[in-house]
Chain A
């Protein structure tokens, strides 16, 4: 062994008062057989400098500092290349146990044994350095408000950006709107959408290259090394033709939303004069005022049915957050077109989040907009033309009917996402139908195909990932990792989502979201270039080692990796894409052969630490116990609580 280990025992912070330091030293030099053990008065300032001087002079490769929590040190507190383990005697022993007790002393000694066992097994980290240079560019998929904003913000921050839009023009849904809801105080007046200026800024930016009528045919690689192939959607060039290949460092998916059309579900949904809010918007944009879609005559009364007229669990069980605001806006279109026009709004809950409440009140003030709770029971042709909308549990709990020219359903938002895992399962089932080992397997595969056939051909990103061609879709199809703790994060490293594809949101939130995602993408390429992991183990330079000679190709690691890091060769041997790895250790736990390890963390290291605990022969009074606590949450919490 070339390792040279040094141990520093801190006597400050009340440690010397609570513990027998001499006995601790005996543990180190005696049973642990580490000859160098020195006491230091504290772990900071000149004492820390003196400690570092000793480390350099003695040429230690591994050091254990028994004093304060690792959280208390700066990142560069110790010399580079030296493995330093910090034992939190202050927090985990002195701070929470009675001083000068036998059990307290025993606890401190066990910590020393465990961390000495740990450093003995640790090897120096070798941060990932790829053979080829990493790319720092950003690919933005989707040219709506979120995509345009993400592209512009990333470019302004210095990144080169490729923006890909599947249709002929940029602008997305906002580009199809007549006016925008108010975005600033006093939230009373409709605003211009401003999408034209945004498109102009994006298309004229020197670091942004826009490809319209294009989609991603394939994306392979990982952060810093994404190889992207674009294909044409058929405008000008033959559909499917490869039009470009390039490399980027990170990806932002801002593919937006599509309306959740409830009309086929509603017994009265399919009849002339029952349209979606997006259709109403396009009519107003085209004609400057609401007109009837069938005969083109000006519309004088409209019933707006919120929640798509059908907020049912099986249809659309979440709130899309913007349909109420859209209805308020569209009611104003109608009222501004004709002072005698009437807009009826039937809702279950009318939601105008935050300061949009002011906009709601402003629309309420309008004499010609009528709000009522109510469950619409029927929409039928009225005698003499128009439609008759009947509702129960409406105003004052009574039933009522109104006669209108048009019924507008406030359709909710569905994410424009593809469920990569479902697509992969579908592909797998297709193979199993042909190659199934027995009738039962083939039958099950056929049933699976039936269940998943809606996912056929829905690919968006076309990732060359073993776990499927797109981001895993979570609740309701939103490809979000965890929208509260980890906004913009997805379960594919280096691919961030922004805007309504991630979560229903309005324009203002989309802009903010896109800006956040752009910064996350830039952060990702920078950290990847330094060989570091991204959030949540940001800065971790360890890399999982696969001892492939003993791999049985069981595919558990490739299946269970939450981030789709591992591809497979034909035999099923895992292929590691290091820059996708988040250092979560799931593969390590999944491997039945225990061939996956980190240099600073492995099954062997943890087992050695547990074995190092000294178990007395008689322990009825205070049996020893160990806990494994999360280094970012639980361990931090106990550390903080011990010192406060």
Chain B
């Protein structure tokens, strides 16, 4: 199974409040009632023609998207996108898989490239919920193949009404990268829109997906210093955003938690997604986002790689958790360790580096050993209920002299 490597999972805890506007409950009547302020705004997609939909993609058997011109369901321009979310096509067997739409921030046909979010403050769009019941819409920013997505944020949609969804962008949480010209940018490839699947087909109308600027300076970098011998303590918020996760649909939810800690700070809470049939899912601790200040060259075979793994009694994870260590330039992991986890137990992991460095795929002469650590991946199989475990205080311990 190919692993889709992503990083940068955003917080479940709301870093900033995101407003939901219920400005209008009826369709737009005249141009003068346009809901889009004149500036500063970049209209990413107004969904006027079928070709406008080319910059969208659909996932997880969502249903259907098409352009429509019924005025009742247009908030701007001459048309909008009608989104039909299929009723459960899997007879309950696929309920963990959230159908979604993706809107690219790079509109190739027009040469409009909005991916640099360095000065983007808000993502906004108009969405009409045509059902008689309240619905919700989730939104996440997709940073890149390497850095993954932000956490999903959900917004309430009133029945038979328009909602202007406003998602406030926390630029500090967007990983920095270099664009083609070598400049540092805050790259967002696109946005995901998530829908709940109901027992019956539901229809929505999407219009005027736009961005608003924020020219204020970006706050202090979220990257901080590490304690001595620390790899990742999860005590700082940025250490959660730097954790990647699989882009599989039943990916785990990762968050910072004080419910368990082995070092007096916070830990990484991993909440698996329930699936009707088990599948393998992974999440990663990736050097590019975490280990920037960690120097593995001073380690020796006598030192130890350590962390704690706790599975709570109630709803705790039961089963095997596989840990893979990847090093620079290697396409396969250099070592694999399997932890058999039972609910209500604390596992204190302490692995001699000599063991990792002598694993079959490890080769110090070819940069395949712990010194060149690039990625620690954790994998597990899902079950039909959501389960939780915590990881804390990933570190090295020096050998006693």
Same complex = no
Residue numbers of A with Cβ under 8 A of B are none
